[in-house]
Chain A
Amino acid sequence: MQEDALDRGLKKTVDWKLIVLYLALMLFGWVNIYAAVQSGEPSSIFDLSCNAGKQALWIAGAIVLAALILFVINAYFWESISTPAYLVVLFLLVLVIFISNNVKGSHSWFELGPVKFQPAELSKITTSLLLASVMSRPAFRMNNWKHFLVAALIVLVPMLVIVAESETGSALVYAGFIFVLYREGMSGWILALLGLAVLLFIVTITTHWWVSLIVVAVVALFYFIHSLRRTSSLRLRRRVVRNGIITVVAAVVLVFAADLIFNKVLKDYQRERIEVVLGMKQDLKGVGYNVHQSLIAIGSGGLFGKGYLKGTQTTFGFVPEQSTDFIFCTVGEEWGFFGTFVVILMYGLMIFWIVRDAEKARTAFTRIYGYCVASCLFMHLFINIGMTLGLMPVIGIPLPLFSYGGSSLWAFTAMLFIFIALDRQEKKYF
């Protein structure tokens, strides 16, 4: 056994492709953080008083963390601590609401002297671990509604607490876990119905409620024809009709509730951001300013960009949060379509390879955890870049591994390397 393990050394057991992508994204991010320095006195990339210098320290720490996870900590450790870790982080998530300072309207940061961190970052990892642990039990059945409920609660509880912290963006990432549930056997109809709900919401607030009702009618008609044609037994047909009617009633309720949710439940700034992205409102001085400036910065990059450190939009301080949430603007402006294409491709490949490794995994735990990692990365990628391109409302979440900030970088490092370690563990002993 031991000899086998030696035979299958690092070269064969570690997925080096992922590590190369990880390093490339992190270093390219660092270089862009330096470029996004606001107007003022120029400084060295290692200058600890500016973001790029601090990021250098975070990167060094992240590499140490990655090495620890990969070489020191036994990969079985993660599954064994999944429950206590989940509970501890959940406790921290609640605690931070009461003891944190208000940072730009949200109560989600712990401050210990100079160090700040968001438990919401850790929670993505612990939620993934517990979800993987629970769903990989042999007795777990996705079509047993009690089991499904447990899985759903594991995701929903931290998500709701994070909403209570006013970190709506981070909470939205948790919606990505639905892809994991789908992969593990959840009915595709649920995915489709959620998509329909979002569609109806958007249609209702941008047009009229009767347009939404027409959409509901068309979808329902299509559903009934499609399903009834495929089923012959009376019992099944009855079920199709029953489910259809429930869905239509729910959809109609949603259509009439949409305006209420939009105008009463959402906060003003959230509503405005949605209005801007849906083109209902052009508010160039307020909410729309950020998105418009972001688009100008990216748009002005053209095919090959203005060249490194030559950007005018990002260095002039037109784009807000340049080194954190809007870092992608710097890529767009200074490296052009060529740069943005490469970055998106790297993320795409990373997610693709994680999914492929997950599918090859022999244990369900590794597979499910891998899907969780892939889903979180995907949500961050889509929301963050979608935001800079005006496809999503302005939601403040970082671009993984790329944005300035130690808390996020370390959390994604840990998340990814736990997967690489799990994957390695399997290749080592089988």
Chain B
Amino acid sequence: MESNNRSTKLLIGLGVVIVLLLGRLFYVQIINESYKTDADNNSMTREMIYPPRGVIYDRNGKLLVGNKICYEILVTPREVHDLDTVSLANALDTTVEFVRERMQYYHKYRSRIGWQTLTFLKNVPSETYLHFAEEQFLFPGFKAQVRSLREYPFNAGGNLLGYISEVSPEYLEDHPDYKAGDYYGRTGLEAAREAELRGSKGWHIYQRDSRGRQKDSYHDGDFDVEAVPGKDITTTIDAYLQQYGQNLMNGKKGSLVAIEPSSGEILAMVSSPGIDVEVLADFGKHYGTLSKDKNKPLYNRAVSASYPPGSVFKLVNGLIGLEDGVLQPWMQYPCYNGYVYTSSGRKLGCHTHRSPLNLEDAVMMSCNGYFCYVFKSILENPEYHSTEEAFTHWREMVMSFGFGRKLGSDFPSELSGNIPSAEYYNRYYRKGHWRFPTIVSLSIGQGEILTTPLQIANLAAIMANRGYYYIPHVVKASEGVEIDPVYYQKQYTMVDTLQFPKVIHGMWKAVNAFGEGGTANVAHVDGLDICGKTGTAQNPHGKDNSVFICFAPRNNPKIAVAAYIENAGFGASWACPIASLLVEKYLNGEISPGRQDLERRVLTTKLIR
């Protein structure tokens, strides 16, 4: 029968393949000697060579994170004999009990360990190693291996840089290219740039002789692999500015972010209270206390905290009003200590100032009433059929400023903040049951609006650039390290660039016009032409938050800054001095004599304990 014939042919094929495999096995296992390493006497050991991790520089080439050498003591238990536990403990600066306990462990599992080399002691400093090296010949089976640890020569950017630690079993599960004992970046830049910083391990392979002693290179080193050092990272951070910012923020809770508007490069990013670099160097020891601290020093507020922006958001509403054509710079609105928004007389309060005001003066004096009128005309714009439609348009415009979404910075754990959507209000108030008075607090950056300090710093950069920004980032391209081309692209807002100067003049007057009621005169520095906007954001958890954004100089700006200080009262009281001191330091290199009292007050005051 044809079929059975075919079955037979297939089975013959199976037989041929099996004979082929067995024949090859017979050749490899029994006939060919070159594949043979004597099972009892000869085997190979692989000595790992760990590459130095890439180092991290600031924008001017100052070293922020370097490496220092330390040692790991390895042991091959099979090679250990005549061990004097006391002198080994002395040489390694450890206890006799530790040595005894390890040796008992190796003895217990000797059959599983075989000829393997295990790690005996980690993080041995150079001095101890030198002591050990002198007496190493007394301890057969023990040897040292070089590892590198992180070193931080300059106290700047603890939260930004992040820390490294040994891989955990869970991490190994997901990352098969790591081995137990390797280090990896856990947070901050160390984590974000792990791929470049890491480098790749190499190894030497040695052969053992019949007594198990290490002998020659195996195959003349044909199988050895060179270690490839990690790539160095250059950040956009200015180390001195970062350190100065940290000093200014000392004793306050909040964030301070500085951006170079013409590139989107982050010059300084302070989250306070933060962690000092000496903590990073020995993170394991401090982790327990840090994670329990009620001020959360591990948490990078600059990107991971979201707050109501308060009055700085009036800039955005003013610009949208101008772009929509419902606001003209000459338009005046009355304000007598606030804006009445319901027929029953509910009022959104304002401070006392002259009335009526035009746009520029409303920005200068941060008039709440004025911006209620502006937001009202945006929402009641006759071009749209309903409040909902106008609101959705407004939201789209706001998001083009980088609010309510992640900016896409190269820094990890960035939050998106929140710009409420029409759907949200439809759910909350029912469709058609909410209008301008319902959401009046959005006029002045309160209510459901939440932004991160990085986002409001980015707003300062948008104002500085008159209508566009570069996505803020902390890594500069350097040799061997590329950054995403998106960081070189201008991101335009939906507001025409021609609208910006109308608002910027108000920001300039807020700082530099004396005797007219400007809110930020304390930020004035002769010759710097700082333009700024204060904010005092209501805080449901306590005292108001103090907010200030600014850029300088007015023409061709070099720096844009946002300061956000929790529970510190008016914008002018803390955020404004801090931000202006940072700008002055960056542009002038020093604080003018007239402002040194202010600097002293900021540096020495502690608002939290």
**In the complex, are the beta carbons of B22 and A312 less than 8 A apart?**
no
Known A-B contacts A298-B28, A302-B36, A341-B25; the reply to A183 vs B3 at CB < 8 A is yes
Asked, given contacts A315-B114, A316-B46, whether A299 binds B7 with beta carbons under 8 Å apart, the answer is: no
CA A176 to CA B527, docked complex, whole Å? 82
Residues of B with C-beta under 8 A to A337: 25-26, 29-30
In the complex where A104-B176, A344-B22 touch, is A299 in contact with B43 (Cβ < 8 A)?
Answer: no
Residue of B nearest to A49 (CB): B169
Q: How far is the CA of A309 from the CA of B109 in the complex (A)?
A: 12
**A379 CB → nearest B CB, Å:** 10
Interface residues as binary, A251-290 with B (CB distance below 8 Å gives 1, 0 otherwise): 0000000000000000000000000000000001100010
Give, as a whole number of angstroms, the nearest-CB distance from B489 to chain A: 27
Within 8 A of A (CB), among B1-44: 2-4, 6-7, 10-11, 13-15, 17-18, 20-22, 24-26, 28-30, 32, 34-40, 43-44
Complex CA distance for A296 and B29, rounded to whole angstroms: 9
- CB contacts (< 8 Å) of B6 on chain A: these are 182-183
Cβ contact within 8 Å between B18 and A285: no
Task: Point out the residues of chain B lying under 8 angstroms from A352, CB to CB.
Answer: 11, 14
Let me know if A143 is at the binding interface, CB within 8 A.
no
- The verdict on A15 contacting chain B, using a C-beta distance below 8 Å, is no
In the assembled complex, A318 has its CB within 8 A of some CB on chain B = yes
A42 at the interface (CB under 8 A from B): yes
A-chain residues with CB within 8 Å of residue B222 when the two chains form the complex: 284-285
Asked whether B514 is an interface residue with its Cβ less than 8 Å from the other chain, the reply is no
CA distance A366 to B40 in the complex (A): 51
Q: Could you say which residues of chain B place their CB within 8 Å of the CB of A344?
A: 18, 21-22, 25
Shortest CB distance A189–B (Å): 13
Confirm or deny: B225 has a beta carbon within 8 angstroms of a beta carbon on chain A: yes
Interface positions, chain A 135-151, Cβ under 8 Å from B, are none
Contact with B along A326-355 (1 / 0, CB 8 A): 000000100011001100110010011001
| Known contacts A337-B26, A389-B24, A389-B25; A312 and B114 CB within 8 A of each other | yes
CB within 8 Å: A-B pair count: 125
Q: Are B36 and A310 in contact (CB under 8 A)?
A: no
Residues of A within 8 A of B169 (CB): 49
| Complex contact B39–A302 (CB within 8 A) | yes
In the bound complex, CA of A300 to CA of B35 (Å): 6
Most buried by B among A41, A299, A302, A340: A299
Q: Does A378 contact B (CB under 8 A)?
A: yes
Contact A317–B46 (Cβ < 8 Å): yes
Contact A355 B11, CB 8 Å, known A310-B114, A312-B43, A340-B29? yes
CA separation between A185 and B40, bound complex, in Å? 54
Cα–Cα distance between A276 and B4 once the two chains are bound (Å): 39
A300 near B46: Cβ-Cβ < 8 Å: no
Q: A299-B29, A318-B46, A344-B22 are in contact. Are A289 and B223 (CB under 8 A)?
A: yes
The answer to whether A355 touches B115, judged by C-beta atoms less than 8 angstroms apart, is: no
Report B168-189 CB contacts with A as 1/0, cut-off 8 Å.
0100000010001000000000
The distance from the CB of A31 to the nearest CB of chain B, in whole angstroms, is 14
Contact indicator A298/B3 (Cβ below 8 Å):
no
Q: How far is the CA of A374 from the CA of B64 in the complex (A)?
A: 63
CB nearest neighbor in A for B176: A104
CB-defined A-B contacts under 8 Å, sample of 9: A300-B35, A300-B38, A306-B40, A316-B115, A337-B26, A340-B22, A341-B25, A344-B25, A355-B11
List the interface of chain B (C-beta within 8 A of A). Answer: 2-4, 6-7, 10-11, 13-15, 17-18, 20-22, 24-26, 28-30, 32, 34-40, 43-46, 109, 111-118, 169, 176, 180, 219, 222-223, 225
17 other A-B residue contacts (CB within 8 Å) besides A299-B34, A302-B36, A378-B17: A42-B109, A49-B169, A185-B2, A300-B39, A306-B39, A312-B43, A313-B44, A315-B114, A316-B115, A332-B28, A336-B29, A341-B25, A348-B15, A355-B7, A382-B17, A386-B21, A391-B21
Nearest first, the 9 A-B pairs at minimum CB distance are A299-B35, A42-B112, A312-B43, A306-B39, A337-B29, A42-B109, A39-B116, A348-B18, A299-B28
